[in-house]
Amino acid sequence: MAAPRPYWKGHLRLSLVSIAVELYPAIVSSSRPAMHQIHRPSSQRIRYQKSVPGIGPVDASDIARGVEVEDDTYVIIEPSELDEIKLESQHTLDLVQFVDQCEVDPRYFERPFYLVPGSDISAEGFAVMRAALREERKIGLGQMTMRGEEYLVALRPCGRGLLLETMRYENEVRASDKLFEDIPPDSGLDSEKTALAQRLIKDRTRPFDASAFHDSYADALHALIEEKRGKRHLMHAQTNEPRKSAEIVDLMEALKKSVARQRASSTAATKKKKAVKSSGHQTAKKTRRAI
């Protein structure tokens, strides 16, 4: 298997310390098979065509990007205008603050990446940074630019490497107060019931092992697919192009043979004609000599 390509390359920077690093995605796509919509009569995939109500299908050149600011009222944003506000790609990740590991609300974490040293030379400095974060039980916070956009990120130790997680900004997290306001607070609860719940929690507390959990639905779906595939319950897509039937193939072969035979016949007739003509010339010459 080919080595994965880094998602981003740059330098991790803390004050005057700069360490070459590379960033790799820490997650893979879902293990569940992708479901497609299939047209039963032809067994072909359903394709979606961009269209406008009352107008019908439209050309890609007539499509613009816009933001709805009022009902059915849009501000059109041109690609050139987006290019103007894009941030320049910077290849530095500056750590500007450190917080306790348990201090950041989990709702702010978005997507995980693995951060590794970018070269053998930077490996020692990288390891020192990782060890310091682990000893202090801290998370490093910073901002970085990737592909024209700025991200808030958190950095924490992960095995021998570092885990970088992109984070949501404050205005992206919905407040929960109104949703939770009718739920009774901790104070005033029945202490005996709470103690019983605590006992159940302690009885089932054990180290986290991700391999102990499986996507049962995905497993069952894979099994169903393999079962139907083994029984040849398959649908083969039919194209709109007319297929060559056996009769058409036979006709083509017959036509080719007829043409070849006609050419051969024409060639033979031409040779015979030339031979007769040549024979006539020879006879005429002998007659003149005899006279």
Sketch the domain layout of the chain as residue ranges.
8-29+86-172, 244-275
DSSP conformational letter for 119: S
Backbone angles phi, psi at 149, to 5 degrees: -125, 150
Task: Assess if CATH 1.10.3720.10 describes domain 8-29+86-172.
Answer: no
Q: Which residue has the tokens 């070849």?
A: 260
Residues near 20 by beta carbon (within 8 Å), at least 6 away in sequence: 9, 10, 11, 117, 118, 119, 121, 122
Distance CA 179, CA 176 (A): 5
pLDDT at 227: 81
Partners of 37 in the β-ladder:
none
3-state secondary structure of 37: coil
DSSP 3-state helix, strand, coil percentages of the chain (rounded to 5)? 40, 25, 35
**Which of 161, 157, 151, 162 shows the shortest CA–CA distance to 109?**
151
Whether 25 and 104 have beta carbons less than 8 Å apart is answered as no
State which H helix or E strand residue 115 sits in. Answer: strand 109-117
Global pTM?
0.65
pLDDT for position 131: 96
Closest CA to 20 of 11, 33, 32: 11
Low-confidence ranges of the chain (pLDDT < 70): 1-3, 30-31, 87-89, 233-235, 237-259, 268-291
**Secondary structure (DSSP) of 242-290:** PP--HHHHHHHHHHHHHHHHHHHHHHHHHHHHHHHHHHHHHHHHHHHHH
8 Å CB contact between 10 and 91: yes
Determine the Cα angle at 275 with ends 274 and 277, to 5°. Answer: 65
d(CA 108, CA 154): 10
> What's the pLDDT score for residue 165?
97
